[in-house]
Amino acid sequence: MATIESVLHENRLFTPDDSFVNQANLLNKEEYYSLCKEAEEDYEGFWGRMAREYIQWHKPFTKVLDENNHPFFKWFEDGKLNVSYNCLDRNLDANADKIAIIFESDKGNVTNITYRDLHLQVCQFANGLRSLNIKKDDRVIIYMPMSIEAVVAMQACSRIGAIHSVVFGGFSAKSLHERIVDTAAVAVITADEQMRGGRSVSLKPVVDKALEMSKTGSVSSVVIYQRTGTDIEWHSPRDIWWHELIVDKPIYCEPEWVGAEHPLFILYTSGSTGRPKGIQHSSAGYLLGAMVSMKWIFDYKPTDIFWCTADVGWITGHSYVAYGPLAMGATQVVFEGVPTFPDAGRFWKIIQSHSVTVFYTAPTAIRSLIKLGPELPEDYDLSSLRLLGSVGEPINPEAWVWYHKVVGQSRCPIVDTWWQTETGCHMIAPVPGAIPLKPGSCTFPLPGIMAAIIDEAGHEVKNEGGGLLVIKRPFPSLARTIWGNPDRFKNTYFPNDIGGKYYLAGDSAHRDSDGYFWIMGRVDDVLNISGHRLGTMEIESALVANSLVAEAAVVGKPHEIKGEVIVAFVVLKGLCPKGDDARKIAIELRNWVSKEIGPIAKPEEIRFGDNLPKTRSGKIMRRLLRAIGRGEEITQDISTLENPAILEQLKQPAI
Ligand code: WT7
């Protein structure tokens, strides 16, 4: 398994500061191990206890786990609850006047909202949705900027049992259209525009365009939150202003009590083949995962000011903005803008002005901020911070050490959290008061998460070594299926040929002699661009959909800031273009991909050739393309290559 060998030789060990340990939720290794032991000895008993402790049930469950229909597991199935009730109503007794969200706009205006007011807004909006005849099980697309309203929209759907699917505001009309069609959504909630980095970006016109793409659409309502007040096209009676919808709506909305397994949401993520997968999460199991991880990994305390910088369009923004912090009764920051506007001190300024205590962001943001201002954090008072987090991709030790020293002032542990859209919450991450840290390692699985490494034959690698990362037992927050495609769920995550009964994460990992996990990256053709997954297939299909293109293959290439960028190898229908022609077409194709999928999918480089390197059987030799893309010597065996001459051509980028 040459690709799965560890290349990191990181020996530094950072033991948590006494000041942290003395206040931590899980004080020490013993407490952490005793939870792990409890889970190992009585798995269902452990998760049953957690579910009773953390969740407020409308009707208690009597059975913890049903594994009969593998891998379609059911947790707490006969229990009833409402997730929005668990996030809002439960906080009204003790925390009604506590601030739930500190919202900071792109420009810097601040709006605070208490639990009482958030509850009221969610209730009114939920009643508004009900007045549009949106009911339990209906799918609702949310295409919104980072805002209090985005959280309200998600919570309101869960209040009435509607299944939301948030589409990141950077996705194109086509991507939005595909998600609307796949979910057969009855409504879209959006805004006129969003503000990012001082610029306005259209949202409603993109929704209009997406809806025009379907001839007989399922969508009967579009609710628009007025963010900037710009003129928009109006389609009556389909379009409704948010502020008009809630006028006169009752300020209490009876929650829809749903079964524990009721789908809370669908969130699309890329796979290596085919179209994006609609990852479907449950209500109770998902909520439980978001809550225990808040407690164990973020060491959540009622006095915290929590800030997760992720957009609600990603799973991180679901679990650690829209659900986890609210269910714990936390005060959190929600930020509309970007880390570099008006300058690269923006994050540090927000931490200072709101006295953020727990800060969670992605390595790509950390790296870009290091590049733009390694000393900038020193200009701000960051003494409120007590814990830092990282998510999305492996964090390189240099960035880790800077984050620890300059942002955390050597006082704050860093929780490097490995998890996925499918897992719903953290899977492997340090319990910060208990586990000494190694830069670049996500350390150990959470209590009750049976993570392991297997070799290609499916045997568990028990000691030091590398292989495929699996989770051996089903866990509450695991996705339940792929929307409308259970076979794909089974074949992707529980394939018969590898692991068999285990959840296969699609990542490779290595465990060192101390038992620490190190994530090595994806094993499939999935790229990780700025902490977001993109399937090579998806980008290739988008390129081939352009009338000039005959064939395309894309690979990832390491990038200083984004982690990975896309290099596209393209064969045109006509002659292979050269010089200015090549540059022009390359720019056109780049914009095309941006329109088809979204700006994050834009290839950084495009290279043209008369053909792609293929084996005699016609298979594209991706390993070779990867080497070319990275500018590496070609050391692979090219004896099976049908057309060696094209390698030279492909070495020249057009842009
Ligand atoms: C993939 C999941 C989970 C929220 C963000 C991304 C990579 C994620 C880490 C980490 C190393 C990581 C994996 C994983 N990944 N976190 N801490 N260390 N790799 O969610 O889009 O579902 O992507 O991101 O490759 O499989 P996602």
How high is the pLDDT of residue 655?
80
> Is residue 644 predicted with pLDDT exceeding 90?
no
Question: Does the pTM exceed 0.85?
Answer: yes
Atom of ligand 1 nearest to the CA of 526: 25
Question: Measured in angstroms, how far is the CA atom of residue 389 from the centroid of ligand 1?
Answer: 13
- What does the alpha-carbon distance between residue 277 and residue 534 come to, in Å, rounded to a whole number? 11
Q: Determine the average pLDDT of the residues in 563-592.
A: 94
> Is residue 2 predicted with pLDDT exceeding 50?
no
How high is the pLDDT of residue 4?
39
User: Can you tell me which residue has the tokens 């495009």?
Assistant: 606
Written as one letter, the residue type at 22 is: N
Higher pLDDT, 235 or 526: 235
- What does the alpha-carbon distance between residue 330 and residue 493 come to, in Å, rounded to a whole number? 33
Q: Determine the average pLDDT of the residues in 118-125.
A: 98
How high is the pLDDT of residue 7?
44
- What does the alpha-carbon distance between residue 323 and residue 151 come to, in Å, rounded to a whole number? 9
What are the pLDDT digits (tens) for 403-459? 999 999 999 999 999 999 999 999 999 999 999 999 999 999 999 999 999 998 889
> Is residue 3 predicted with pLDDT exceeding 60?
no
DSSP H helices, 408-509, are 486-493
- What does the alpha-carbon distance between residue 210 and residue 173 come to, in Å, rounded to a whole number? 5
- What does the alpha-carbon distance between residue 483 and residue 455 come to, in Å, rounded to a whole number? 30
> Is residue 71 predicted with pLDDT exceeding 60?
yes
Q: Is the dihedral of CA 580, 582, 583, 584 positive or negative?
A: positive
What are the pLDDT digits (tens) for 34-47? 999 999 999 999 99
* 360: nearest Cα among 303, 420, 319: 319
Per the CB < 8 A criterion, the answer to whether 440 and 249 are in contact is no
How many CB atoms sit inside 10 A of residue 289's CB? 30
How many CB atoms sit inside 10 A of residue 352's CB? 18
How many CB atoms sit inside 10 A of residue 244's CB? 12
Q: What percentage of residues in the chain have a pLDDT greater than 90?
A: 82
Q: Determine the average pLDDT of the residues in 286-292.
A: 98
How high is the pLDDT of residue 26?
73
Q: How confident is the model at residue 370 (pLDDT cuts 50, 70, 90)?
A: very high
Q: How confident is the model at residue 654 (pLDDT cuts 50, 70, 90)?
A: confident
Q: Determine the average pLDDT of the residues in 258-275.
A: 92
Name the residue of 277, 418, 507 whose CB sits within 8 Å of the most ligand 1 atoms, as the mutation to test its pocket. 418
Cα 481 versus chain centre, distance: 17
- What does the alpha-carbon distance between residue 275 and residue 538 come to, in Å, rounded to a whole number? 7
Residues with CB under 6 A from ligand 1: 269, 315-316, 391-394, 416-421, 442, 505-507, 519, 522, 528, 531-533
> Is residue 496 predicted with pLDDT exceeding 70?
yes
Cis preceding-peptide flag for 71 (omega within 30 of 0): yes
User: Can you tell me which residue has the tokens 């081939």?
Assistant: 544
What are the pLDDT digits (tens) for 223-246? 999 999 999 999 999 999 999 999
Under DSSP, the state recorded for 652 is: S
Q: Name the token pair of 318.
A: 């679901």
> Is residue 648 predicted with pLDDT exceeding 60?
yes
What are the pLDDT digits (tens) for 125-183? 999 999 999 999 999 999 999 999 999 999 999 999 999 999 999 999 999 999 999 99
Range of lowest pLDDT (2-11, 49-58, 200-209, 499-508): 2-11
- What does the alpha-carbon distance between residue 147 and residue 256 come to, in Å, rounded to a whole number? 25
Q: How confident is the model at residue 499 (pLDDT cuts 50, 70, 90)?
A: low
> Is residue 274 predicted with pLDDT exceeding 90?
no
How high is the pLDDT of residue 622?
84
Task: Say what angle helices 173-183 and 204-212 make with each other, to 10 degrees.
Answer: 60
How high is the pLDDT of residue 5?
43
By alpha-carbon position, which residue is closest to atom 23 of ligand 1? 420
Name the residue of 280, 449, 533 whose CB sits within 8 Å of the most ligand 1 atoms, as the mutation to test its pocket. 533
Atom of ligand 1 nearest to the CA of 506: 26
The CA R_g of the chain, rounded to the nearest whole Å, is 24
Q: Name the token pair of 302.
A: 């009622």
Residue 548 backbone dihedrals phi, psi, to 5 degrees: -80, -20
How high is the pLDDT of residue 8?
52
Average pLDDT taken over every residue of the chain: 94
Per the CB < 8 A criterion, the answer to whether 300 and 281 are in contact is no
Q: How confident is the model at residue 24 (pLDDT cuts 50, 70, 90)?
A: confident
Question: Measured in angstroms, how far is the CA atom of residue 528 from the centroid of ligand 1?
Answer: 8
DSSP for 498-535? TTTTSEEEEEEEEE-TT--EEEEEESSSEEEETTEEEE
- What does the alpha-carbon distance between residue 107 and residue 269 come to, in Å, rounded to a whole number? 31
- What does the alpha-carbon distance between residue 317 and residue 332 come to, in Å, rounded to a whole number? 12
How high is the pLDDT of residue 271?
80
Q: How confident is the model at residue 9 (pLDDT cuts 50, 70, 90)?
A: low
* 472: nearest Cα among 502, 506, 446: 502
Per the CB < 8 A criterion, the answer to whether 156 and 122 are in contact is yes
For 289, the 3-state DSSP assignment is: helix
